[in-house]
Amino acid sequence: MKNIFGILPYVKGYWKYAIWNIVFNVLSVLFSVFSIALLFPFLQVLFSNDNSKLTELIAKGKPAFSFSTNAILDNINYALAQNTLDHGKGHVLSLICIFIITTFVFKNLFRYLAMYSLAPIRNGVVKDIRNRIFKKTLELPLSYYSEERKGDIISRMTTDVQEIEWNIMQSLEMIFREPINIVIFLVLMVAMSAKLTLIAFILLPITVLLIGKLGRSLRRSSSESKERMGTLLSMMDETLGGLRIIKGFNAERKVAEKFEAENESFTKLGIKVGRKVDLASPLSETLGVSVLVVLLFIGGKMVIEDQSMDGAVFITYLAMFSQLLTPAKAFASAYSSIQKGLASAERIDKILNAEVSISDKTNPTRINTFEKSIEFKNVSFAYRKGEVGWVLNDINLTITKGKTIALVGQSGSGKTTLADMLPRFYDTTNGDILIDGISLKDAAIKDIRSLMGIVTQESILFNDTVFNNIAFGIDNATEADVIAAAKIANAHDFIMQMPNGYQTNIGDRGNKMSGGQRQRMSIARAVLKNPPILILDEATSALDTESERLVQDALNKLMQNRTSIVIAHRLSTIQHADEIIVMQKGEIIERGNHSTLINANGTYQKLHEMQSFV
């Protein structure tokens, strides 16, 4: 959305309202022009003190009608002169008042109808943009978020979308209405005096250039302001998530000072942007009035000296031009607002146009079951191409159906990354991963992930009920199904002690429960999904002994008759694994069962000695 036309595709579903908006705006402008164009001829006849001129005008007979300024004015003058002689000036004054009221009633009626028909467009387009950006955030791979600040992404999804609603959609009508207004006034002005209108055309581009320069400057400042807002939101998010550490280290003052400095910088930019926005309207009005004075001087000479223009026509012309300034001023203000909004639109485009590097190929292979094995063939991976060193380097591993494979090693050895390759959170840089002989890159992503259940070290729960968290992603789950899953996960008892049982809201990220309870909820969710492949990423490492016992018991039930990949720091939890893979710096350095690796007296044996087993 580098310009206003980038919004137009979003208007596609609202053309019916757009057409009505144009029709009503044209009618509103016509009534506005009509009232201004005819007011002065009315007054010219009304305040004429010489009835002989009126008699002379009637004696000439009714003028022939044609679509020209002079013909229309002659007919109006004739009708007014006739009514003045027949009924008196009081009667004509009454007609004028009724006429003015009628025209302005219709003008404002059609103005309201135009705004009424625009409301669904303005709000609907913003809704569509918000839906599209949220959907895109779900499609983007995890690697995208490792490069971006979460606060900045939230800023784009909220503040920037709101800026489009405030500064683009609210100005959209002016962008399309005011040109109609301007064109109609200009056509009448050309008909009255082509010479004066040509002079106006020569002077007005100077106004346009100055306002355009101001708009470009505003766009740059506004874009920088949005970046600052993203930084502020990131700091807020980090602060709320780290309050325990901030308070524990008495760092409140330091964190507050850092935020205040960033907020001061953002405020200064906001003042700068606001002043530029406020400058657009008075600047355009001042330049417009300057042009009006020039026309007043030249046109006055045409009336007084050259007598090449009728005085009444000149007064009407000036009234037309003065009315032209209002839409021109509104157009200038709308242009400045839109430039401010386009800065936000460009930031949104960075998300909407971001490459979805992990996606289905055309006509992917469908996988509905897991029958044989998972194979890692010469798998290497780096988060960014050209990066020094590999996160994974030449991994070869076969996981047979029904087996439990444990991944152990120091932090940063690549265990979690290896597991994340399986549900295609990341794609291999080199090599390939196959399920039953089918490459993950050839299979449908939805099918791959439907085969897997994931339980992570940090329990990911949502601000919803217990029932909806356990049934997350499962269509048509019954209460009996959820209760059965909770019982297997050793979660049913503590759930029933909650105020509303399975309909209890668990708060933000499940903060109303203990760590062990949250983890058992996550296990219940995996049980309900009933996947053939299970990924456990340090699912008990953050728990106390009692909670670990309950969670480990739930995990043992969950792992029965499933193919499991277990990432563990506590070696006591994986002693019975069919194969233990020891990793170091992205490579497999040892493999075998617990007894074999202990007897090998290698890295695993050293890790074993460093830990105390119960």
pLDDT tens digits along 172-205: 666 667 777 777 777 777 877 788 888 777 776 6
In this prediction, residue 386 carries a pLDDT of: 52
Least confident of 209-218, 264-273, 589-598: 209-218
Cβ partners under 8 Å of residue 336, min gap 6: 211, 214, 215, 218, 276, 277, 280
Q: Which residue did the predictor score with more confidence, 570 or 517?
A: 517
In this prediction, residue 439 carries a pLDDT of: 92
Q: What's the 3-state SS for 103-127? A: HHHHHHHHHHHHHHHHHHHHHHHHH
In this prediction, residue 614 carries a pLDDT of: 42
For residue 92, is pLDDT > 60?
Answer: yes
Q: Which residue did the predictor score with more confidence, 602 or 88?
A: 602
Q: Which residue did the predictor score with more confidence, 68 or 128?
A: 128
| Euclidean distance between CA atoms 529 and 236, whole angstroms | 36
Radius of gyration, alpha carbons of the chain:
37
Cβ partners under 8 Å of residue 28, min gap 6: 107, 108, 110, 111, 114
CATH class of 4-352: mainly alpha
| Euclidean distance between CA atoms 48 and 360, whole angstroms | 82
- pTM for this structure? 0.69
Cβ partners under 8 Å of residue 213, min gap 6: none
Give the three-class secondary structure for 381. strand
What percent of the chain stands above pLDDT 70?
79
pLDDT tens for residues 408-425? 888 888 888 898 899 888
In this prediction, residue 434 carries a pLDDT of: 93
Pick the CATH number of 461-530 from 3.30.2350.10, 3.40.50.300, 3.40.220.10, 3.30.2090.10: 3.40.50.300
- Residue type for position 250: N
In this prediction, residue 613 carries a pLDDT of: 47
For residue 394, is pLDDT > 60?
Answer: yes
Q: Domain residue spans in the chain? A: 4-352, 461-530
For residue 377, is pLDDT > 90?
Answer: yes
